[in-house]
Amino acid sequence: MSKTKVIVGLGSCGIAAGANKTYQKIEQLMKVENLDFELKKTSCIGMCFREPLVEIVDDTGSYIYGNVDENRVIEVLEKHVVNHEPVKELVVKTDLFETPDHSFFDNQVKIALRHCGYIDPESIEEYEAHQGYEAIKKIADEDIKPDEIIETVMQSGLRGRGGGGFPTGMKWRFARKSESDEKYIICNADEGDPGAFMDRSLLEGDPHAVIEGMLIGAYAIGATEGVIYCRAEYPLAIKRLNIALEQARDQGYLGDHILGMEGFCFDIHVKEGAGAFVCGEETALIASVEGERGMPRKRPPFPAISGLWKKPTNINNVETWANIPWIILNGAEAYAKYGTEKSKGTKVFALAGKINHSGLVEVPMGITIRDIIYKLGGGIPGGKKFKAVQLGGPSGGCIPEYLADTIVDYESVNATGAIMGSGGMVVMDEDTCMVDVARFFLNFTQSESCGKCTFCRIGTKRMLEILERITQGKGVLEDLDTLEELAYQIKDSSLCGLGQTAPNPVLTTLKYFRDEYIAHIVEKKCPAKVCKNLLTYEIIPEKCTGCTVCAKKCPVNAISGERKQPHVIDQDLCIKCGECYARCKFDAIVIH
């Protein structure tokens, strides 16, 4: 009989939900109750909506429990570990019986996230026990040449998962052909959109996969040094990266003449960034690594010719690198069997917004947006209607419900006006104002503009001013033409991808939700009842009991009336704070 294992998910999402307290409670119970089992740590399995998560592995199988706080863990340990009776109603995943959340896992194909939530990310031994570093060993043992590696990556169809979707193998080939004694490999772990959650989770959960991917890429292009550019706001990811790098050096995976391959000398260091969104653009990232302000540079020359320190440089993001060892071990054909003709493999998405199952999912290319939202995401909370999904991060586009059967591949998503980006997927319901959404995302990209380009610096500011006027009820119909004109000028004239894609939320909401803009401008109404300045609060006399609660809570004394008599709101005094609406227990206050 093997020893029972109790494994606690200690990724950032789990820790935020209280997983550290759960872990500490387990440690306490082990001592006080003299319980005999092996306590271990892992990271996020993507099921953020059920954190804290605790897995119990015994002779009968594996059981992952959800919402296990420091109090509930007492029950789980007593019933399962002590009495050998699984608490079925709390199990979210097991191979032994079906659970209510089984579809969250059943519709995924995990390649990039294959180890996340299943191994201890701070243990190189556990990574090696799951085929870790077998890909680089295969290259060494079989004397696979750099050009053969690049061809395998080309044949796999892997495209950059950081946003642009450029063929990874082609990018490597350009860098390999560049003649130089010094070449660099960079891992971009600084995307500043919801997809950055994916980067952080992957680095926290499987740092060695990224390191091994970079090792393979370095050998393929002839690089001698690697940089992982990670925002400083991810302290746990940086901590685990540095642990993994030290372990890799100790085991001979980094350093001189790696695995006996003569002339292959390579090491990696972590560069902490300040979290600037623009540094997700590769030339701005390079400038930051070099100690300069993160601002994009004109291309050509491209980084493959002149990048870091003006030497040939290859940059891929976290997810791209994590796929590489799997492709080398399993072959190009195994990877290419997933996806569509032009978009192969899988894609990781960070589900957020108005959705029941928020978290990380990895799906085969070709799945529909609708299936992601309903089969994996569990649909919209409260039975509300699905309205739109914003795909591709802050500079992505908003795709309406009637296009939800669009398949997830680069060409199909781009055709809607959105972008794949690094995997952010923000779901919106019927209560979402699309004009306000456009304003919100443009406010982010405008504030993150580095200011180098006139069109990006000033054009986005003018667009934001127009959107703010419209949401305040001060817009005119001519504003819509001005927004579109500015948007296309910014897209055509900006230097980098941030500026070129910044207008996407505005253009797509104008295209698919123009009626909402017109309602704001012509009718001075917000159909979703979100834009504060366009709301009117009114008391229905027939429902008002005269309890006076609303009058007492009004901060500006805009409500008057005798006790047990219908009250009225002075619209000239009302500041539209909504306090009366929130306090009324008789549904006597309506919003227009």
In order of their start, the domains of the chain are 5-100 (3.40.30.10), 124-335 (3.40.50.11540), 346-429 (3.10.20.600), 434-523 (1.20.1440.230), 536-591 (3.30.70.20)
pLDDT in tens, 415-456: 999 998 878 899 999 999 999 999 999 999 999 889 998 999
SS3 at position 361: strand
Of 493, 441, 431, the residue nearest 463 (C-alpha): 441
557, with CB counted inside 10 A (0-12, 13-18, 19+), is exposed
What's the sign of the alpha-carbon dihedral 410, 416, 420, 424? Answer: negative
Reading the block at residue 500, the tokens are: 């070129």
Residues 6+ apart with CB under 8 A from 267: 225, 226, 249, 254, 255
Cα-based angle 203, 14, 448 (whole degrees, multiple of 5): 55
Q: What is the pLDDT of residue 194?
A: 47
- Say if residue 472's pLDDT is above 60: yes
Alpha-carbon distance 584 to 503, whole Å?
Answer: 41
Query: Using omega within 30 degrees of 0 as the cis cutoff, is the peptide bond preceding 207 cis?
Result: no
> Cβ–Cβ contacts within 10 Å for residue 181, how many?
7
Strands (E), 113-264: 184-189, 225-231
Reading the block at residue 487, the tokens are: 């948007």
> Cβ–Cβ contacts within 10 Å for residue 484, how many?
16
130, with CB counted inside 10 A (0-12, 13-18, 19+), is middle
Residues 6+ apart with CB under 8 A from 159: 165, 166, 167, 168, 343, 344, 410
**Which helix (H) or strand (E) segment is 151 a member of?**
helix 146-156
Reading the block at residue 48, the tokens are: 């953020």
Residue 196's pLDDT band, with cuts at 50, 70 and 90, is low
Amino acid at 400: P
What residues form DSSP beta bridges with 569?
Answer: 559
Mean predicted confidence (pLDDT) in 151-179: 94
Q: Tokens 């993507």 appear where?
A: 46
- Say if residue 564's pLDDT is above 70: yes
Q: Lowest-confidence range among 23-27, 204-208, 369-373, 572-576? A: 572-576
Cα–Cα distances in Å, from 393 out to 194, 269, 403, 441, 464?
Answer: 6, 27, 18, 9, 18
The more confident residue out of 354 and 280 is: 354
pLDDT in tens, 74-105: 999 999 999 999 999 999 999 999 998 888 99
Q: What is the pLDDT of residue 497?
A: 84
DSSP codes of every residue in 318-339:
HHHHHHHHHHHHH-HHHHHTSB
Amino acid at 533: N
Q: Are 347 and 108 in contact (CB under 8 A)?
A: no
Mean predicted confidence (pLDDT) in 310-329: 97
360, with CB counted inside 10 A (0-12, 13-18, 19+), is buried
Q: Where are the alpha helices (DSSP H) in 425-534?
A: 434-448, 454, 460-471, 478-493, 497-501, 504-512, 514-518
- Say if residue 356's pLDDT is above 80: yes
Alpha-carbon distance 467 to 470, whole Å?
Answer: 5
Alpha-carbon distance 573 to 373, whole Å?
Answer: 43
Secondary structure of the chain: what % helix, strand, coil (to 5)? 45, 15, 40
pTM of the model: 0.93
* Percentage above 90 pLDDT, the chain: 88
- Say if residue 278's pLDDT is above 60: yes
Strands (E), 254-368: 267-273, 313-317, 346-353, 359-364
Find the helix packing angle between 207-221 and 196-205, rounded to 10°: 100
Mean pLDDT for all residues in the chain: 94
Q: Are 138 and 144 in contact (CB under 8 A)?
A: yes
Residues 6+ apart with CB under 8 A from 169: 150, 151, 152, 153, 154, 155, 156, 158
Q: What is the pLDDT of residue 592?
A: 87
Q: What is the pLDDT of residue 246?
A: 98
Mean predicted confidence (pLDDT) in 401-413: 96
Q: What is the pLDDT of residue 190?
A: 76
Reading the block at residue 591, the tokens are: 């919003």
Cα–Cα distances in Å, from 436 out to 62, 99, 177, 443, 469?
Answer: 45, 38, 48, 10, 11
Alpha-carbon distance 77 to 60, whole Å?
Answer: 16
Q: What is the pLDDT of residue 191?
A: 62
Q: What is the length of the chain?
A: 592
CA torsion angle 374 380 384 390 (round to 10):
-90
381, with CB counted inside 10 A (0-12, 13-18, 19+), is exposed
Alpha-carbon distance 350 to 422, whole Å?
Answer: 9
SS3 at position 492: helix
Residue 288's pLDDT band, with cuts at 50, 70 and 90, is very high
Alpha-carbon distance 555 to 562, whole Å?
Answer: 18
- Say if residue 193's pLDDT is above 60: no
Q: Are 158 and 410 in contact (CB under 8 A)?
A: no
Which phi and psi (to 5°) does residue 97 adopt? -160, 165
Alpha-carbon distance 235 to 279, whole Å?
Answer: 18
- Say if residue 198's pLDDT is above 90: no
Cα–Cα distances in Å, from 578 out to 224, 410, 569?
Answer: 60, 42, 12
Which phi and psi (to 5°) does residue 123 adopt? -120, 110
**Which helix (H) or strand (E) segment is 538 a member of?**
strand 537-539
Q: Are 398 and 390 in contact (CB under 8 A)?
A: yes
Reading the block at residue 80, the tokens are: 């399962």
Q: Are 550 and 584 in contact (CB under 8 A)?
A: yes
